[in-house]
Amino acid sequence: MTFRALLDEIRQVVSAGLTGLGYPQESFDLSEPPRPEFGDVSSNVAFQIGKKLNRKPYDVARDFVENHLKPILGDGERGTQRSLIFSVEAHPGGYINFRANYENLAAMTLNQALENPSYGFHNVGNGTRVVIEHTSVNPNKALHVGHLRNVILGDTIYRILKTTNHNVTVLNYVDDSGLQVADIVVAFKFAGFPLEPAEKSMKFDHYCGDHVYVKINELYKTDPGLEERRRLVLKELEHDTSELARFASTIVSRVLHEQLMTCWKMKVHYDLLNFESQIVISKLWEKSFNWLKDKQIVHLAPEGKNKGCWVIKGESESADEKVIVRSDHTITYIAKDIPYAAWKLGLVQDPFYYYKFSDQWDNTSLWATTLDSSKSSKGHPKFGSADRAITIIDSRQSRLQSIISGILSQFQLIENRYHHLAYEPVTLSSKTADLLGVDIGEKHSMHMSGRKGVYVNADYVIEMAQSKAYEEVRSRNPTFSEEQLCKVAEAISISAIRYNLVKYDLDKIINFDIVESLNLEGDTGPYVQYAYARSQRLLEKSTEEISQLSFCLLNKGPETMLIKAIAKLDLVVEEAARTLKPKSIARYVHMMATAFNLFYETVPVLKEPDRVKRVTRLALVVAFCRTLKNAFYLLGIEPLNEM
C-alpha cells in the first residue's frame, strides 16, 4: 500500500503545482526511473507542458520544480510531517525526479506488512461474481504438459481474483458425450480392449490415453467398420438411459477422478464439474436456440452451400457464415458451447441440480451438476449467473470463442462479460521429441498430439521433478526423515512446475524441454522458495522481541530496495487482476527474492552488534516473509522453512 501512497502524494503535489501554473487538466505519468541516481519516482509532466508551450523540457522542469513544487513541499520540511516525499529535482533530461522519504516509507510499509495478515490484497473486485472455466480436458486420457499450462494459468487467476475480493467459482467442463469418449468406448466394447491395463499399477487415465485411444485411432485406418461404430456410439451417448451410455459414464468417471488427482497434486482448486451430456439432455440448447431465433442472431440459410442449415453471420463482411444447426437438425460443436456460456452468465434459466462430487485437498467440496432432483444436495454455493465469465482455452480456439462472445453481446448488448483468455500452446523441444522417439528433422519444436500419442504426460513431469527435488533435498539435509524429504521434495517440485508455466507471457509458445524444466536454479520456483527459507532461518535463530524499532537505521541500499519491493505488492496484484496476466506475480516474486538475497549477503542481521539496528532489521525480515508468503499463495507456491 505504501508505494501507492507515495504515488498518490506525488500525483497530488504535481496536480497542485499544475493548478498554480494554470494547467488543471494536464495529463502526466509517474514512473520508476531506470537508475537509482534518478530517485524513486519520475514524472514526465515537463515534457507535456513543454510541448504546449514550445519550450525545452528541462527549462520547464526547472521552473516548475523551483517555483511550483518546492513551495508546496516546503523545502524538505515535510520529512517531519509524515510525508513520503523527501525531495524533488529537475533533471537535465527533462524528467522531474522525486526521492522518497525512506524513514517514513519504511515505517509505513513495515507497520502495514507486520500488522495485516492479508497484506497486499487490495479490493479491486467489490464482490463481482466471476466464473472461471479451465482444465476441461476430454475424459478419455491423462493430462499432458500442454493441459498443465491451462490448469496452472486458470488456478493462478482464480487465486489472484479471489484475493482481490472477486466472488469466484471455478468450473471444469467435462465433455462426456463427445467423439473422444466415443473412441475409447468403441475400443472397449467393439475392438476387444481389456477394461483393465495389463500393468496393474498404471493409472487408468494413462491406460486410456496412452494405449487405448492411440491404438483405436490406428485401427480406424484399417477397419472402416469401427468408424461406423463410432458414429453410432456417439449418437447413443446423448441418451443417458441406454446401457452403452451408462458404460461410458463409468469410464468417464474413472478417468475424471484420475485427472483430478493430477490437478490436485498441483494444488489446484475447483468448485463445479459441468457435464456436456446434461447440457444436451436438459434442453438448454433448445432454450438458447429459441432466443437466438427470437433475436434474429441465427437464420435459416435459404440457398447456397449451407442451404437448410441454421447459420450465424461471420464476424466481418468477408468472413463465411458459421453453421450452427446442420440440415439434418443435429447441432455443431460450437452450438454446444453457446448454452453453456449463456448459463455461466445467467442468460438462461438454470436447469441443474447440484450434488457433492468429492472432497478436495484444500478441505473444500467439489460439486457436480445433475438432472436428478433426488440426488441434489443442499448447501451448495450459487453457481452460474455470474457478472463475468472467463474461459481459459488455448489460442487455437480463438475464432470459435470470439463467435461465442459476439453472440452473447448481441443477445445482451453488453460487451466484455464473456472473456476468452487465450494462451499459446506448449510444444515439445527437439530434444524432448527425440526422447519420445520422434524425428522432427531440422525443426526446433513440434506440437503435441493426443491422438498420435506424441506428448509428455503431466504425471510424468511431476514425478521426474519430485525425484530430482528429492535427491537435491537429501544431499543438502542429511538429517531429514523420509517423511520430511518427501514433503519438501513435493513442495519444491510443485513450485518448479507452476512457476515455470506461469512466468511466460500468455502469447508466447512454451517450447517444453523436459531436462530444462527440471532446473532448480536461477529464475525458478525453488529459487524464490530458497530466499524464503533463508529468511526463516534468521527468524528461527533469534529470540529477541521485535519492539522499539528505529526505521531510520534501515538506510543501506539493499535495505531500501527491499522495503520498496515490499511496498509494491498491492500494486502488482491489482495490475495482475486487471490485466489477467499472472506472469507479473512471478516476476514480482523473483524481484523480491533477488532483493532479499542481496540484503542477506551484504547486511548483517543476527551478527549486527547494535541491538536496535539488529531488531529493526529482523522486523524487515518478518515483513519480507509475510509479503513473500502472500505472493506465494497467488502462485500456489508453498513457503518452506527448510529445504
Partner RNA sequence: GGGCCCGUAGUGUAGCCAGGAUAUCGCGGCGGUCUUCGGAACCGCAGGUCGAGGGAUCGAAGCCCUCCGGGCCCGCCA
The CB-of-519 to RNA minimum distance in angstroms stands at 7
Q: Segment contacting RNA (CB under 7 A): 79-87, 196-204, 431-439, 528-536?
A: 528-536
Contacting residues for 4 by C-beta, under 8 A, at least 6 apart: 570, 571
Distance in angstroms (rounded) separating the CA atoms of residues 355 and 368: 6
Q: Segment contacting RNA (CB under 7 A): 112-120, 129-137, 300-308, 431-439?
A: 300-308
Question: Which C-beta is closer to RNA: that of 29 or that of 294?
Answer: 29
Longest dimension (CA), the chain: 89
Q: Taking CB under 7 A as the rule, does residue 561 contact RNA?
A: no
Contacting residue, 246, 283, 307, 452, with RNA by CB under 7 A: 307
The CB-of-348 to RNA minimum distance in angstroms stands at 21
333-352 binders of RNA (CB under 7 A)? 333-334
Q: Taking CB under 7 A as the rule, does residue 115 contact RNA?
A: no
Question: Which C-beta is closer to RNA: that of 386 or that of 489?
Answer: 489
Q: How far is CA 40 from CA 7, 91, 131, 623, 635, in A?
A: 10, 13, 39, 21, 28
Contacting residue, 371, 438, 464, 533, with RNA by CB under 7 A: 533
Contacting residue, 77, 199, 362, 521, with RNA by CB under 7 A: 521
> DSSP labels for 614-629?
HHHHHHHHHHHHHHHH
Question: Which C-beta is closer to RNA: that of 269 or that of 468?
Answer: 468
- β 129-133/388-394 pair status: parallel
Question: Which C-beta is closer to RNA: that of 295 or that of 307?
Answer: 307
Instruction: Determine the size of the site formed for RNA (CB under 7 A).
Output: 100
Q: Count the neighbouring beta carbons within 10 Å of the beta carbon of residue 372.
A: 10
Q: Are the C-beta atoms of residues 366 and 358 closer than 8 Å to each other?
A: yes
Report the DSSP beta bridge partners of residue 449: 454
Question: Which C-beta is closer to RNA: that of 55 or that of 356?
Answer: 55
Torsion over CA: 54, 57, 59, 63 (sign): positive
Question: Which C-beta is closer to RNA: that of 74 or that of 604?
Answer: 604
Q: Which of 518, 516, 517, 535 is nearest to 592 (CA)?
A: 535
Q: Segment contacting RNA (CB under 7 A): 11-19, 109-117, 504-512, 565-573?
A: 504-512
Contacting residue, 13, 69, 84, 91, with RNA by CB under 7 A: 91
Sheet bearing 310-312, strands edge to edge: 298-300, 310-312, 322-325
Question: Which C-beta is closer to RNA: that of 279 or that of 366?
Answer: 279
SS3 labels along 539-569: HHHCCCCCCCCCHHHCCCHHHHHHHHHHHCH
Q: Are the C-beta atoms of residues 453 and 433 closer than 8 Å to each other?
A: no
The CB-of-602 to RNA minimum distance in angstroms stands at 7
Q: Segment contacting RNA (CB under 7 A): 68-76, 321-329, 377-385, 545-553?
A: 321-329
Contacts 24+ apart (CB under 8 A), 243-246: 244/185, 244/189, 245/277
The CB-of-438 to RNA minimum distance in angstroms stands at 14
Q: Taking CB under 7 A as the rule, does residue 583 contact RNA?
A: yes
Would you put residue 76 in left (φ > 0), alpha (ψ -120 to 50) or beta? left
Q: Taking CB under 7 A as the rule, does residue 287 contact RNA?
A: no
Contacting residue, 26, 59, 236, 472, with RNA by CB under 7 A: 472
Question: Which C-beta is closer to RNA: that of 306 or that of 410?
Answer: 306
Question: Which C-beta is closer to RNA: that of 189 or that of 326?
Answer: 326
The CB-of-160 to RNA minimum distance in angstroms stands at 15
Q: Taking CB under 7 A as the rule, does residue 194 contact RNA?
A: no
The CB-of-137 to RNA minimum distance in angstroms stands at 12
265-284 binders of RNA (CB under 7 A)? none
24-63 binders of RNA (CB under 7 A)? 29, 31, 33-35, 37-38, 42, 44, 47, 50-51, 57
134-193 binders of RNA (CB under 7 A)? 175, 178-180
Strands (E), 256-408: 272-275, 298-300, 310-312, 322-325, 353-359, 365-370, 388-394
Contacting residue, 5, 297, 400, 438, with RNA by CB under 7 A: 400
Contacting residue, 3, 23, 64, 95, with RNA by CB under 7 A: 95
407-426 binders of RNA (CB under 7 A)? 424
Distance in angstroms (rounded) separating the CA atoms of residues 223 and 232: 15
Question: Which C-beta is closer to RNA: that of 347 or that of 643?
Answer: 643
Q: Count the neighbouring beta carbons within 10 Å of the beta carbon of residue 278.
A: 21
Q: Count the neighbouring beta carbons within 10 Å of the beta carbon of residue 144.
A: 24
Distance in angstroms (rounded) separating the CA atoms of residues 533 and 119: 20
Report the DSSP beta bridge partners of residue 300: 310
The CB-of-369 to RNA minimum distance in angstroms stands at 18
Cell of 278: 446434461
Contacting residue, 173, 207, 530, 532, with RNA by CB under 7 A: 530
197-226 binders of RNA (CB under 7 A)? none
The CB-of-506 to RNA minimum distance in angstroms stands at 8
Question: Which C-beta is closer to RNA: that of 387 or that of 424?
Answer: 424
Contacting residues for 532 by C-beta, under 8 A, at least 6 apart: 593, 625, 628, 629, 632, 639, 640
Q: Segment contacting RNA (CB under 7 A): 100-108, 279-287, 340-348, 579-587?
A: 579-587
Q: Taking CB under 7 A as the rule, does residue 584 contact RNA?
A: yes
Distance in angstroms (rounded) separating the CA atoms of residues 560 and 566: 10
620-639 binders of RNA (CB under 7 A)? none
433-452 binders of RNA (CB under 7 A)? 443-444, 447
Q: Taking CB under 7 A as the rule, does residue 482 contact RNA?
A: no
Question: Which C-beta is closer to RNA: that of 9 or that of 271?
Answer: 9
First to last CA, the chain: 31
Q: How far is CA 254 from CA 215, 233, 643, in A?
A: 20, 19, 35
592-621 binders of RNA (CB under 7 A)? 594, 597-598, 600-608
Contacting residue, 207, 527, 532, 624, with RNA by CB under 7 A: 527
Counting DSSP H helices and E strands in the chain, the numbers are: 24, 17
Q: Taking CB under 7 A as the rule, does residue 94 contact RNA?
A: yes
Q: Which of 184, 350, 152, 154 is nearest to 256 (CA)?
A: 184
Question: Which C-beta is closer to RNA: that of 368 or that of 593?
Answer: 593
Q: Which of 547, 643, 534, 635 is nearest to 587 (CA)?
A: 635
SS3 labels along 397-437: HHHHHHHHHHHHHHHHCCCCCEEEEEECCEEEEHHHHHHCC
